[in-house]
Structure 1
């Protein structure tokens, strides 16, 4: 609204300079772009990100399988393990244990597992996720994780677009101000040392 008022105020103002009107129009265009283009870019980016993540989650659900691992012996060293399907750790120390498990293809595997328990005992059963070959993987992304990431991508791209528009407006205004100073210096130079004396220019 202030940008539109600025354009209207400079329309017939006798003190108006060309750069004043141009600056007001630049501000109005920037406001319109922030109101229209930024949300549109955010929606588009969020939609594309959500679609891509849904495809990824669908592939993960197809090729990742849950199975049960049996603890052979506890391992003394603590570890930090992923707490969600995307491999993002919540930095909580947990236990480790040597375990064996069978993959979906029937292959036998063994290895060290990070666990949510600090006191693992032989014979304890743990739920793990494996790929088609029986190797340990993170669990597939949940729908809420997909939605959250898509929303964050949308908001982030909208904010970035708005920031670029504001930066572009400031750059244009800076150029207009520089041009205004150049014209002012030229006017002072043309007035010369006789500016303000009686009879000058008569």
Structure 2
């Protein structure tokens, strides 16, 4: 209950479901729409976030299955290699390495190594099924971050989309309700003015 300029206003919960002479069919419809929108927005957001996290996990699993680690040997001093410009591996250099492929043939390629690594030292690298150097799969911490970030981004977007659809439906109901009120006032208005004028 609240007071506005000396007038007490009583707010009843679930008033659209309560039986009263002022309740319209559109009020009941709107109440069910609001309940459905909030339910779908909440559950849909949670399910969409979970699906996004599952998609990230599947993507990581595919990436892990596509590469495998091998031991490679540097063919030159890493200090002579070109510096890595990637911010994640700043301070490392590109060097030529050699390793033995799954079929026993010698392979060469470029890999990232610390500048202190000398020629002949061993380096663990990741290669694809066709023996091409590749980046390492993400760590557990990176996977957790990607899952949480994806879920945190997708869940609110899905919930907002559902809420936006419900808002458009409620807006149409409001227009319809105003049109009904206007039509009823055109019928009752003249009688009300006549009644008021008669008393005056």
- Relative to the length of structure 1, the TM-score reads 0.66
Choose the corresponding residue for 2:136, options 139, 148, 168.
Answer: 139
- 2:16 and 2:97 mapped to 1: Cα distance? 78
- 2:159 and 2:147 mapped to 1: Cα distance? 18
The verdict on how the C-alpha distance between 1:165 and 1:31 changes in structure 2, with shifts beyond 3 A counting, is same
Kept in 2, the 8 Å contact 1:72–1:97? The answer is: no
- 1:94 and 1:195 mapped to 2: Cα distance? 88
Deviation at 1:170, TM superposition (A): 0.7
The verdict on how the C-alpha distance between 1:112 and 1:39 changes in structure 2, with shifts beyond 3 A counting, is closer
5 Å-filtered alignment, 1:20-169, equals 20-43=27-50, 46-47=53-54, 50=57, 52-53=58-59, 55-57=61-63, 59-60=65-66, 63-73=67-77, 74-75=79-80, 77-81=82-86, 90=88, 93-105=90-102, 106-115=104-113, 117-118=114-115, 121-142=118-139, 145-146=142-143, 148-169=145-166
Does residue 193 of structure 2 align to residue 197 of structure 1?
yes
The verdict on how the C-alpha distance between 1:103 and 1:134 changes in structure 2, with shifts beyond 3 A counting, is farther
- 2:60 and 2:93 mapped to 1: Cα distance? 32
Tell me the SS of whatever aligns to 2:14: helix
The equivalent of 2:22 in structure 1 is 15
- 2:64 and 2:119 mapped to 1: Cα distance? 35
Kept in 2, the 8 Å contact 1:71–1:120? The answer is: no
The equivalent of 1:182 in structure 2 is 179
- Relative to the length of structure 2, the TM-score reads 0.67
The verdict on how the C-alpha distance between 1:67 and 1:123 changes in structure 2, with shifts beyond 3 A counting, is closer
- Give the count of matched residue pairs: 185
Deviation at 1:80, TM superposition (A): 3.0
The equivalent of 2:168 in structure 1 is 171
Q: Structure 1 stretches of 5 or more lacking a match?
A: 82-88
The equivalent of 1:85 in structure 2 is none
- 1:183 and 1:138 mapped to 2: Cα distance? 66
Kept in 2, the 8 Å contact 1:30–1:169? The answer is: yes
Deviation at 1:118, TM superposition (A): 4.4
Instruction: Specify the structure having the higher radius of gyration (Cα).
Output: 2
Cα deviation code 1:106-128 (max 9, x no counterpart): 3334444333x345544454322
Kept in 1, the 8 Å contact 2:83–2:94? The answer is: no
Q: What RMSD in Å do the two structures reach over aligned CA positions?
A: 3.7
